[in-house]
Amino acid sequence: MIKYLKKYWFFAILAPIFMMGEVAMDLLQPRMMSTIIDEGVLGLSNNNVGDVHLVIVTGLKMIGLVTIGGFCGIMSGVFANLCSQNFGNDVRKEAFRKIMSFSFEQTDKFSTGSLITRVTNDITQIQNLVSQCIRGFVRTFLLFAGGIGCMLMLDLSFGIVVACALPLVIICVVYFISKANPMFSVLQERLDKVNNVMQENVSDSRVVKAYVKEEYEQNRFMEANDRLVKTQLDVLLLFSYMTPLMNIILNVSVVAIIKVGAIEVQAGGATPGNVMAAITYISQILNAVMRMTMIFQSVSRGVASGRRVNEVLKCRPVIADGGFEGNTDIKG
């Protein structure tokens, strides 16, 4: 599907560039807050005499950086949406054009409900995948890498906490994503079934009423819907375990930073402002990893939907340009 994305390469480049600006502003904030605490409040380099003027000036600079970061974030969202929505529009039109050229046999092979799902829900999932890749993934990765770099610049001792926390976070992420990946394909298949039953009852409602099959069709729809709900609940339940585990790791890491920071402050190797900045950075790093899991969730679902849409786009119509390209043998 890269060919559908090439038309909007300009938007796909601008979105990450503006996101880099937003992340840079976020990473500068803790360092400036550290200056306010150490110099403006505690006055460590001025015989423990605070400097109100420094607090005001630095605070105004932080407000300016937040404004710039907000502008960059807005522009990144605008360009990411322009890219993903136009991409989805082109793919949806091409998929519909392809479906209109299918023979009855090919339509039955996919089923009408499945084709409806592929043109609507599946392409929406692919749009989300594109948006997450050019915006969410860039933000998360830069916060993760930049946060580690900035924290190590404060004090190398803080790197011990990161080295201990990251393996635990990565293990959790890999485990939950590996469990969730197969569920997304099943989820789309369950949605196919619900759409298929619904489409059959809407288009053949007179036949259903003529043969008094309302109760039978209601039971068939309820069964398909119950399977869809069960699969959705299984996915949500799986990810509901992940958030508390991540929060536990985050809070334990904050406690470890405070402990290590206290030791470093007593030894004169760090300042209270550095400790506060390190807490902010460790929160940004682990929150970035947590957001990465949600991005992987969107990626997993988008990849599963991409395979389904590709099956439609790559399917060669039996009837093309008024000629029949199928098997003409007649078997008695």
Question: pLDDT tens digits for the chain (332 residues)?
Answer: 778 888 888 999 999 999 999 999 999 998 898 889 888 888 888 787 878 888 899 999 999 999 999 999 999 999 999 999 999 999 999 999 888 888 888 887 887 778 888 888 889 889 988 988 888 888 888 988 888 888 888 777 777 887 888 888 888 878 887 887 788 778 878 888 887 888 777 777 777 777 778 888 888 888 988 988 898 888 888 878 877 887 888 788 888 888 888 888 888 777 888 888 888 888 888 778 778 777 777 777 788 788 888 888 888 876 555 544 444 343 33
- Nearest-angstrom CA–CA distance, 290 and 302: 19
Q: Which residue has the tokens 């201990």?
A: 164
- Nearest-angstrom CA–CA distance, 62 and 51: 17
Q: Which CATH superfamily is domain 2-318 in?
A: ABC transporter type 1, transmembrane domain (1.20.1560.10)
153 SS3 class: helix
- Nearest-angstrom CA–CA distance, 197 and 217: 8
Q: Which residue has the tokens 């050229």?
A: 101
Q: Which residue has the tokens 């008695």?
A: 332
Q: Domain segments of the chain: what residues?
A: 2-318
44 SS3 class: coil
Transcribe 266-322 into DSSP letters.
HHTSS-HHHHHHHHHHHHHHHHHHHHHHHHHHHHHHHHHHHHHHHHHHTPPPSEETT
Tokens of 7: 């038309």
- Nearest-angstrom CA–CA distance, 106 and 112: 10
- H-helix segments, the chain: 2-6, 9-35, 52-100, 104-110, 112-117, 123-131, 137-154, 158-203, 205-210, 214-267, 272-313
Query: Given this model, what pLDDT does residue 161 score?
Result: 82
- Contact between 217 and 135 (Cβ < 8 Å): no
At CA 122, angle to CA 120 and CA 125, rounded to 5?
110
